[in-house]
Amino acid sequence: MHIWILGPCCMESAESYIEEGKILSEIMDRREIMNRREPWYFKASFDKANRTSVDSKRGIGLEEGIKAFQQIKKEIPKIQLITDVHETNQVEQLAGIVDAIQVPAFLCRQTDLIVACAKYFNVVNVKKGQWMPPEDAKYIARKIEQTNPNCRAMITERGTSLGYGSLVVDFGSVPVLKRYFDDVILDCTHSTQRSISGGNVTGGNRDLAEKYMHAAPIFNYDGIFAEVHPCPAYAFSDKDCQIPLNKIEGLIKTSSYIDQQMGNFPHAPRMSE
């Protein structure tokens, strides 16, 4: 693995966002975590525009989000930022503010949005829709490549719908997705989401998310996406699957160790080889 995307689901406040960015930066800067420095992106959504209920909290919004991005860049100049967008007019406003842009799963077929992202950014991460076969993802990659041949196209697996309420991860899709994208990422937290019948919230399974972090290097993913929160029980969204901030360093160490051990056994092929 060589990419990490870590951070809270939602920008609950500029202060909490910046504070968590500082903590994660310190964790990722510790050389003892891994023998090599691996690039990582600090993520958070300034607006959770795809919430189930109209009453759900959405975040601080684009205007305040841009201020938070600019402030954290001042305080941690080397930090790399990624955030998702829902409308084409948001993309240009974020150019030069964040380092990479993300397309939500529910919008992964929106041509104009993908084209705008590739036009203004050289790193685009697309969350694969829960309904989309891995073979169909090639059409997303073509939109990016035709718009910006120099763009690094990443796709993030966040589970496939099983019936109406559950998600499963198809580890066999990794080699298929690698045909079309520069990097294939495993979203360890969103892939555990479960619909709660009769409610307006989404459940999840934090223990399973941690196991997915350990499985990612075995199945030859290029990176890990994991949402992290200081106190998940009080998070605006995804409280059941976000990983506690005080546990993430140990999980990163374990995942990196597994990845290194896999590399020490060249005759033990990974899933996509």
Q: Report how far apart, in Å, the C-alpha atoms of 229 and of each of 44, 90, 201, 249 are.
A: 11, 25, 17, 13
- Say whether pLDDT at 149 is over 90: yes
Q: Would you state the pLDDT for residue 166? A: 86
Mean of pLDDT values over 213-237: 94
Phi, psi of 168 (to 5 degrees): -130, 155
pTM of the predicted protein model: 0.92
Q: Alpha carbon 47 to chain centroid distance?
A: 15
- In this model, does residue 44 exceed pLDDT 50? yes
Q: Which structural domains are found in the chain, ordered by start?
A: 3-263 (3.20.20.70)
The whole-number average pLDDT for the span 91-113 is: 97
pLDDT of residue 273: 47
- SS3 labels along 165-226: CEEECCHHHHHHHHCCCCEEEEECCHHHCEECCCCCCEECCHHHHHHHHHHCCCCCCCEEEE
Q: What percent of the chain has pLDDT above 70?
A: 89
Considering 38-42, 136-140, 163-167, 268-272, the range whose residues carry the highest mean pLDDT is: 136-140
User: Checking DSSP bridges between strand 194-195 and strand 183-187, what pairing results, if any?
Assistant: unpaired
Q: What is the mean pLDDT of residues 198-220?
A: 87
Q: Give the pLDDT of residue 112.
A: 98
Distance of CA 162 to the CA centre of its chain: 21
Kindly report the average pLDDT of the chain as a whole number.
90
The amino acid that residue 271 corresponds to is M
Comparing CA positions, the residue from 1, 106, 92 lying closest to residue 51 is: 106
